[in-house]
Each structure stands twice: as structure tokens, then as C-alpha cells.
Chains A and B, each alone.
Chain A
């Protein structure tokens, strides 16, 4: 109980490190979600709505990657960005962009797989209808995205939720550098190890609040759709 009270005092106070951690977390989660969405959703729509040779195998690969362990993603990105790696010259390791890249590797298959699943439900009927009335094919992806918009917003929130709560990959490529790459999850780990429980609890409360907001929005959208 003492830790909880101390944590609330921390939250109501003006702690610079706490603010920095929250800001870095939101920045990293926002950009990784945005980039994953821009890559994953159009590809997901294509996979969900088109028939092509090898589709079954591609979907299997995507589903496997949806469950990619974060530490494995972190390791891959670490090796790519390390000084001796193919992208070492960009010196991105232990920076927010490196964390964003690792998150994109993790979240894009999730966005792609869920979008393909959402799209495939209505694709056949929608495409037959739109082609039947002569709607140009270039408009099909836009129509599929629009018609699935409510579920796709939920997909986006799922991606954001994954990004904000992830710890393994960002720890490896971000390095948990104070005021630079420290995010809520890595900070909770560190502060717990140090025995600084009120700080860890304060971060935990913020993380839970953000998660609550995201889930409430997703649920509300779903309810609006059902109405």
C-alpha cells in the first residue's frame, strides 16, 4: 500500500525522468504503429482479397511471424544495426529509431495478418459487387479499407497496445539509456531490480491507464458497429 501511495505522489508531482520515459514510450509506440499500419494494412488487404499461388504458405508465414518472440526480433535488429552489421553505418543502435525498427518488425505481421483476416470476410462479396457495377479496380483497396474501417481501427489499437507493452526487443536495441531510450516497460524492470518500487508502480499505473483507454476506444467502436 505504501508503494501505491508513493507512486500516486510521484504521478501527481513533477518528475522529469517520469515525463521523459512516458514521452519516449508514446513517441516510439506512435511511430512504430504508424509505420506498421502503412506497410501492413495495404498488404493485408491485398492478401485478404486476392487469390494467388502460394497464398496459403504466405499466410502461414505471417501467422508464424505474428507470434515472433520479441527478443528474437530484438536480436535480429540488433545484429542488423550493430557496428559490424549491414546497417551499422547509420549508427542507429541504442536510439529511438532503432526501437521503432524493432517494433515495426514485430507489429507489421500482426497488422498484416489481422487486416487480411478482417478483409477476407467481405472481400468476395464486395469485389463481385463492385466489379459487377463497373467500379474501377484502382478503387477496390480503398473500398475494402473503408468498409472494414471499424475493425481496422481495432487492429491499429491492437498494434499500439503491443508496441507500448513490449519489453524484450526495445531493451536489446534501445539499451534502456536514461533520458534517451528508456521506456515504461524497460524502466519498470530496472526500477524493480533496484528495489525502487514506487517508481515502478507509478509507471505500471500509467501503462495500465493507457491500456484501459485503448481498450475502451476499441470496445466503443465495436459497440457502434454492432448498433
Chain B
């Protein structure tokens, strides 16, 4: 499934016959998909539909079993940033947890510290800068993980259920910080979510995954409220209760 696009130069990532097996079971099978530069994609689908697998493949954390992913202009070491579903919090201070995501060569020690503290401030956890990263609560830890990503300008952000553990206030701070970041850096965003309202707020395109296949793609209002596929309709019925 390919999104219609006007200019091939706008393509950031192309998926070609991408497959991933897990214990001999096909967990992802996407024939063709183009992801455009500067867009905000929400990956939506039931548990086990392939959202996390797709993000891991795009992040390079796992390798495809078949097919290929072609990146256009994502050659830099820090061009891609990925937030896993259960991000690890190192036992350093919260500040140091963020500093370690900023490469030495990017700026000097003082600038890295300032950059890290600014990222913590944007996520509302600057007061925890000296606390140990591994002692934070689930929600605070998730905000720390997000601060780590937003401390550096990345061309592609891959987020796997980024606010699954945060409260409403945390969600608002995150979404605000993310929107500012995307506007500032012209980054492309691909995120998996179970919160459909978040998909509507953050994404300009929703990709609906069903049993490892990308079955629908389009504006959030279309895919989420007027799905065409059987899987999409069933998912919407389930979501609506």
C-alpha cells in the first residue's frame, strides 16, 4: 500500500516487501509503503498487529526477515531516534541520563548540560534532575525517556506508545513539547498508540495495521472514523465499546 505523493524527493523511507518472522510466525508483512518527509504518522491497530515490530525495524533495532527498508537522507549517526515501549532508565542522575543522549562531539560539556536541563524543563521534570533515573516512577521515567529524545535534533522520531504510563498532565506536556520540537526541527514522526484521540491530535496520517499488514492509510478522521477494511471496522467497534 503506497500513499499517493506528489514528489518522490519527499519520500523519507520506503518499505519494499518487508517481512519479519517471529518463531516462524509472520508478524509483519508490508508489500509497499512510502513514508514522507516531515509527516506525522500514527500507527494504530490491535495488540500484535505489528506496530512495535515496524518501529523496531525502522529504528534498526531488529533486522527484517525479508524485503528491505530504504532510507533517503538518514545517513547520520543521530538522524533516527527511537523510544521503545519500555525505555530503560540508567542508574545515573536524571540529568546524566539525558546528557548521555547528546553526543560529545555535538557540543561542549556545559552546553550539553544546558541542553539536557532544557529538555527536562520542557517535560516538566527539571526538579528531578539530580534524582537517580532508576528511582523514578513509571510516568516520570517515561517523561525522562522522552526528554532524552528531545534533547537532540533528530530527523526521524520513532515512538512506541510514548505516553502509556503518563498521566493527563504528563500527556499534555509531552504533546506540547513534541509539537514544538517537530515544528522547530522539521522532523518526521512515526508513533504507535492505542489512544486514538492522541492519534487525531498529533498525526496527519494514520496507518492502520491488522495482522502485520498495513491495511489502511490516510487522514486520522478518515481511517479512524470511517474505516474501509474489515479489520479497521472491527477495531473501531471494539474501541467504541
Contact = CB atoms under 8 A, between A and B. Distances in A.
Interface of A: 122, 125-135, 143, 146-147
Interface string B88-102: 101100000000110
Interface in B41-88: 56, 59-61, 77-78, 80-84, 86-88
Nearest to A132: B82
Contacts of B88: 122, 125-126, 128-130
Contact of A134 (B77, B83, B145, B158): B77
Given A131-B60, A132-B82, A133-B81, A125 B87 contact: yes
B148 interface: yes
14 contacts: A122-B88, A125-B87, A128-B61, A128-B88, A130-B88, A131-B60, A132-B83, A132-B149, A132-B158, A133-B148, A134-B80, A134-B81, A135-B100, A146-B91
Nearest to A134: B78
B103 interface: yes
Contacts of B61: 127-128, 131-132
Contact of B101 (A122, A134, A143, A147): A134
A127 B61 CA distance: 9
Nearest to B79: A134
B84 A129 contact: yes
B103 A134 contact: yes
Contact of A129 (B78, B87, B158): B87
A132 B90 contact: no
A139 to B, nearest CB: 9
B35 to A, nearest CB: 18
Contacts of A146: 91
Nearest to B91: A147
Given A128-B61, A129-B145, 19 more contacts: A122-B88, A125-B87, A127-B61, A128-B82, A128-B84, A128-B88, A129-B84, A131-B61, A131-B82, A132-B61, A132-B81, A132-B87, A133-B81, A133-B100, A134-B77, A134-B78, A134-B152, A135-B101, A146-B91
The 6 A-B residue pairs with the shortest CB-CB distance, nearest first, are: A132-B82, A129-B88, A133-B101, A128-B84, A125-B88, A126-B88
Main secondary structure of the interface of A (DSSP, over half): helix
A141 to B, nearest CB: 15
Among A125, A127, A131, A133: residue with most chain B CB under 10 A: A133
Interface string B203-215: 0000000000000
Contacts of B59: 131-132
Contacts of B87: 125, 128-129, 132
Contacts of A129: 84, 87-88, 145
Nearest to B135: A227
A144 B152 CA distance: 24
Contacts of A126: 88, 90
A195 to B, nearest CB: 54
A146 B81 CA distance: 23
A130 B148 CA distance: 10
Contacts of B158: 132
B81 A125 contact: no
Contacts of B91: 146-147
A110 B101 CA distance: 35
Interface in B138-152: 145, 148-149, 152
Nearest to B62: A128
A49 to B, nearest CB: 12
Nearest to A149: B91
Contacts of A127: 61
Interface string B14-25: 000000000000
Among B80, B84, B148: residue with most chain A CB under 10 A: B84
Interface in B86-140: 86-88, 90-91, 100-101, 103
A133 B86 contact: no
Contacts of A131: 59-61, 82
